[in-house]
Amino acid sequence: MDQNLRQFYFFSEFLNRKVYTLAQNRVGKIVDMVAERVDPYPLILGMIIRTRKREKFFLPWEKIVQVEPLLLFSDGGLLDLSQSVATQDAILLRDEVMDKQIVDTYGAKVVRVNDLHFLKVESRLRLVHVDVGFRGLMRRVGWEKAVDRVLEWLFSYKLPNQFISWKYVQLLSGSDLLHLSVSQKKLSHLHPADLADIIEDLSSHERSAIFHALDPETAAETLEEIDPKIQKALIETIPIEKASDIVEEMSPSDAVDLLADLPEERAEEILEGMEQEKAEDLRELLVHPEETAGGLMTTAYLCLTPEVTVDSAIARLKAEAPHLDIMDYIYIVDEGEGLQGVVSIRDLLTAQPNQRLSEIQFPRVVSVKLDDDQKEVVEAFAKYGFRALPVVDDENHLKGVIGFRNVLDVLAPDAG
């Protein structure tokens, strides 16, 4: 049964549309549509009808005899709403989709769903696009044709459709939320800085929903890009176990900044849930004031002794690379962690495999002290042009390394 369907429809064309019996007696109007939660394009299961007595019923698609020009349904078509919809894995399009925010997978920005686009497949409708453009908004308020005429007359211009295919989005559920977002798999493929921008643009509940959907590694990378106030709010909304996993994946310097902003009890609970070695590194960093070199440094760098050969150093660098914040230099230390020299990655890769690091190291190392203030650190970076600077104590023991990114955070704290 084709039901006299057109090829395409919009949700706005159904919303508040009157429905009639076969005898053309008006029964009520459409207040929502129900879609089956299937991939890639949800199937329309029916309509939610509100009668003149303000009661709501479910009208299955199979009971719809005609859609155009009047929407007619057969006898016995209206079913109990709670029993009919609750038994199906369904989406209420008006309640759960319309006006919700969605991540544009192409532009990586937050936009709002203004309308929904359906395609006729055989004798049924499927949800194929969400409309996030101004044209969809004008259609929904009934001004589409008028705006078209004005723009055509004044500028010979027609508003374009702005569609995002439904297959690129999915409902992201969490607690009482059912909001649109890119799927968890696709979220992890966005750049962490883009994810941070997206999360910052959302409400607190929406931020929490998306953040909960991320795996610990992606969540950690994203958290490093987020405004510190939002960082703190997000990490406080998740269970301690997951918070520990996320902080463990973060850069030590970023993790310390976050932990320093949390209540002492919460920070300690997170540390206790982490691997002991990583937790101890962070506790050592937490001792140093944020405005000093010690507060800027990371402990995720590679240091080796002078007798290590070039090929062994390269092998160590490859093995530890996923856990390092500093990849530009290898620092040469003695058995007591005294700083003796530095080898750039460029020099390492151009040296002979059997050479020892002592043969290629640069012995005059520029360093800063643990208690040097941020201004002195910035001046050292500006003067010498290094991409990282080692941090030493009064006995020249290597305690950490400051990467150039941390200096950027000092120079432009609001730049992301």
CA dihedral 227→232→235→238, nearest 10 degrees, is: -120
> Are the CB atoms for 260 and 282 separated by under 8 Å?
no
Q: Provide the CATH number for the domain around residue 66.
A: 2.30.30.240
Contact 58, 48 (CB under 8 A): yes
- For the chain, the domain total comes to 3
Range of the domain at 68: 8-92
In a domain, 236, yes or no: yes
Cβ(5)–Cβ(71) below 8 Å? no
pLDDT tens for the chain, 416 residues long, are: 567 888 899 999 999 999 999 999 999 999 999 999 887 789 999 999 999 888 999 999 999 999 999 999 998 888 888 777 766 678 899 988 888 877 654 444 567 889 999 988 878 899 988 888 889 889 988 888 888 888 888 878 888 888 877 877 766 554 333 344 444 555 555 567 767 776 777 777 767 777 877 778 888 988 888 888 888 989 988 889 999 999 999 988 889 889 988 999 999 999 999 999 889 989 988 888 888 999 889 988 999 999 999 999 999 999 999 889 899 999 999 999 999 999 999 999 999 999 999 999 998 899 999 999 989 999 999 898 889 999 999 999 999 999 988 887 766 555 44
The verdict on residue 123 lying in a domain is no
**Are residues 271 and 322 both part of a single domain?**
no
What DSSP letter does each residue of 351-364 carry, written as one string? S-TT-BHHHH-B-S
Would residue 154 count as lying in a domain? Answer: no
Where a domain ends, among 287, 315, 345?
287
Claim to verify: residue 256 and residue 324 sit in the same structural domain: no
Do the domain assignments include residue 150?
no
Residue 321 shares a structural domain with residue 239: no
User: Is 309 found in the same domain as 283?
Assistant: no
Residue 398 identity:
L
Token output for 276:
């002991």
- CATH code of 337's domain: 3.10.580.10
Q: What is the largest CA-CA distance in the chain?
A: 97
Q: What integer pLDDT is reported at residue 153 of this predicted model?
A: 85
Where does a domain end: 239, 259, 287?
287
**345: amino acid identity, one letter:** I
Helices of type H across 29-133: 81-86, 93-96
Identify whether 158 is part of a domain. no
